[in-house]
Amino acid sequence: MKAQELQDLIDFIAKSGLNKVNIETEDFKISVQRDPNTKIVTMAGAAPAPAATAAAPAPAAQAAPAAAAPAAAEAPAASSATPLKSPMIGTFYRSSSPETPAFVQVGDMVEKGQVICIIEAMKLFNEIEAEQSGRIVKALVENATPVEYDQPLFLIEAV
């Protein structure tokens, strides 16, 4: 992996708001961990180096619990709905560009395999498809916000 690719990866992880990430391949091992007091990036065989951009996601991380509280309050009403979860970490987008309408709105009917959002990871835009046919009951994530692996994105009620 080239130095610029490595820096891009570290920057992406820092912006995602994750507290800990471990990546291991045959060629290298990277462990990124941050807490409120220190922000350290270590690589196997290298000295620790400060992660310069790790401080940026702190406000987003603090806003997430406040946004989750209303979703929890409405969960009993949509108990028959199945969550569509993020298959990766990245940035969630409801449309393909700011000028185009969202792929789906609450109340829309979707078919299995229909694209309902995009997650950007490492400058690649990944189309996320509905895993079942049904009706979108609730959007659980705001547009252009970081998401984590297995984080619920939408609630879909089978019909």
Whether residue 125 is contained in a domain is answered as yes
Tens-place pLDDT, residues 74-106:
444 446 899 999 999 999 999 999 999 999 999
Q: From the centroid of its chain, how far is CA 54?
A: 16
Whether residue 28 is contained in a domain is answered as yes
Does one domain contain both 26 and 87? no
Does one domain contain both 85 and 154? yes
The percent of residues above 70 in pLDDT, for the chain, comes to 61
Does one domain contain both 89 and 26? no
Tens-place pLDDT, residues 107-132:
999 999 999 999 999 989 999 999 99
Q: From the centroid of its chain, how far is CA 105?
A: 19
Q: What are the φ/ψ torsions at residue 74 (nearest 5 degrees)? A: -95, -5
Angle at 13 between CA 9 and CA 15, to 5 degrees: 115
Q: How far apart are CA 57 and CA 141, in angstroms?
A: 16
Confidence of residue 26 (pLDDT cuts 50, 70, 90): confident
Whether residue 42 is contained in a domain is answered as no
Whether residue 58 is contained in a domain is answered as no
The residues near 12 (Cβ < 8 Å, ≥ 6 apart) are: 121, 122
Residue 22 in this model has a pLDDT that exceeds 80: no
Output the pTM of the full model.
0.52
Q: Is 8 helix (H, G, I), strand (E, B) or coil?
A: helix
Whether residue 92 is contained in a domain is answered as yes
Q: How far apart are CA 78 and CA 98, in angstroms?
A: 29
Output the six-digit token pair for 71.
Answer: 């979703």
Residue 152 in this model has a pLDDT that exceeds 60: yes
Whether residue 10 is contained in a domain is answered as yes
Residue numbers of the domain that contains 16: 3-33
C-alpha distance across the termini of the chain, in Å: 47
Output the six-digit token pair for 33.
Answer: 């961990």
CATH of the domain at 134: 2.40.50.100
Whether residue 113 is contained in a domain is answered as yes
Domain count, the chain: 2
Q: Which residues pair with 155 in a beta bridge?
A: 83, 138
Whether residue 56 is contained in a domain is answered as no
